[in-house]
Structure 1
């Protein structure tokens, strides 16, 4: 009896192993998903800032100011750019070229000798985690520089002779909700877009209703537009709900025009819906479509788009991958529109990229719906 049990068990295990090897999607998920997740979380989850960009505005150059700049340049966490006019530095921080501005006033050296030297640090509040790190790194670098000066001069003075006045631009209250909510809109549109249409074609293929369309004169482009339209209406309603919640519930400021925000959201929603439809068109079944949609849309959008973690902390290869994702471009744009106001140069750049994704994915979706049986 025991031998017959083992024989049956061996046969069943053999059958299941063969089925697993034939089910390429299940095999790929079982083997590749852990690798993908460990790489995403290992490289993506980092609150450290390894390359803080600070603009130093020197109103009147002096040996003292150059020592401060040299001290900051010696920090492995800071990249220093010198400016001699405040408008240039303001333009740089608005264009997200620097993360903070350190202002050294013209009378700094004289006031420091009197024990009341002051510096001003203006941080980019569009990312509260980066702003906090910048404040710590800049303060630490200046303190180390002043301590070295004290040791060289054999003086009893301390670094308390210089105070740093810290302010946060674009997020005056240093509220992390202001930073997170615009990013959540990206994740919501990614999730509903990819998953609403991600199962659409695969479900019809399993039910056998897709083949009925192949005998009609309908064209792939017409089929794509017809399937997108109802879900596009649902997505637009979701966009309005998200914007109302952002303003009324979370009190996140919208400093740009509603036209720029809505148009950007509409383009990204279209990208997400087309991505899901393309995945569904090429997938063999609903399970495969759902897994691919998760791995190709939501997970990368959450981990590699700059939602919480600074992309510059990622390895160079992963940074390149992040720039391929449409979510990365929309994330940068929507945060700027919410907190920084209208930046039409950035709007045209990122919306042009999103429009390119629309064209490519529209072609891919039509390709996946060619009239052929599988």
Structure 2
């Protein structure tokens, strides 16, 4: 074994000992993914379930009871009955319910006379996403009921067009299947950027950077000695996150695990390079940590497509998202988990990750200290 390899192994061993002496690195790599996955996996949902809805039936009849039963036995609604529209509106204003379905007194008569029998639906639009889902669910209850009523009378509903919907890749429409893969990218951003954003700054704060620079080790060996241990910790955190996604949250992994690991390697190298660059520039652990959160975590959370649809953003923001490394990793994760190995998506995003990893690592090497100032 040549001297360069021995020096590199010595630096790697030193960094692992530092990790063992400072358990916060292990907490970031392994405890934080568990905490975030449990928090977001169970606590955050884009689905609308058990929506409190108010039913105002001015005249109780077999038809109105039959229609109202669709809300009583639906997993999407929690029905509350009110005597009049004024009382229901007050409940809507006080946010006890999210919507009102109003059946007028002549509902049954107009329905049996084949006249238009309007149903008034009032939805709280403060949360636009829930409002759209609630409106769609009410429409679904109406269509189900009108079809069942027609079949019971031996009639066929009059429709010019009959829509047959098919949902691909996430047939159960579980938001958890969409959120958890994207959350892995956010977790990997935190692991990669936070772990390495502190390592060089820690050397400066503790006065050990002078000792490192005065030794025969080269700058490349110092950076490799910092990168390799935290790369291994980061990949361990990724394997833990994938395992929780598949076995705990039941997110289907349709594509190849090896494709995920290769993409994770590219993304982690980019995150580690960004963290090293921050750490070299900051020379202070607190400042480096704050910069890492602002520069890496917040863009990964907001601008990566993890929760918010990039196509819905203004075009200047859409252009800016191309600078967010997590954007490319989120696209790969969601594709591999839910659709499979779709190379038209994987290869361009993997190439972008490779270019960004090389850029950050080269910049970190260029900015790394070579002498005391």
Q: TM-score range by the shorter chain?
A: 0.5 to 0.7
* Structure 2 gap segments, 5+ residues each: 1-45, 47-128, 140-156
Sort the Cα spacing of 1:371 and 1:159 in 2 relative to 1 into closer, same or farther, 3 A: farther
1: CA distance, partners of 2:246 / 2:313: 32
Q: Which secondary structure does the structure 1 equivalent of 2:163 belong to?
A: strand
Query: Partner residue of 1:358?
Result: 357
Preserved CA contact (<8 Å) 1:202 1:281: yes
TM (norm. structure 2) is: 0.57
Preserved CA contact (<8 Å) 1:220 1:367: no
Q: How many residues align?
A: 228
Residue 224 of structure 1: CA displacement? Answer: 0.9
Query: Partner residue of 1:324?
Result: 323
* Structure 1 gap segments, 5+ residues each: 1-46, 48-128, 140-157
Matches within 5 A, 1:56-67: none
1: CA distance, partners of 2:206 / 2:338: 47
Preserved CA contact (<8 Å) 2:177 2:251: yes
Q: Deviations over 1:148-176 (max 9, x none)?
A: xxxxxxxxxx9844332222110011111
Matches within 5 A, 1:1-374: 160-374=159-373
2: CA distance, partners of 1:219 / 1:257: 38
Preserved CA contact (<8 Å) 1:304 1:328: yes
RMSD, aligned α-carbons: 2.6
1: CA distance, partners of 2:167 / 2:308: 19
Residue 345 of structure 1: CA displacement? Answer: 2.8
2: CA distance, partners of 1:259 / 1:168: 27
Preserved CA contact (<8 Å) 1:170 1:339: yes
Q: Which secondary structure does the structure 2 equivalent of 1:166 belong to?
A: coil
2: CA distance, partners of 1:315 / 1:350: 22
Q: Deviations over 1:310-365 (max 9, x none)?
A: 11121111111111111101111110111111112322211111111111111111
Q: Which secondary structure does the structure 1 equivalent of 2:239 belong to?
A: helix
Preserved CA contact (<8 Å) 1:267 1:355: yes
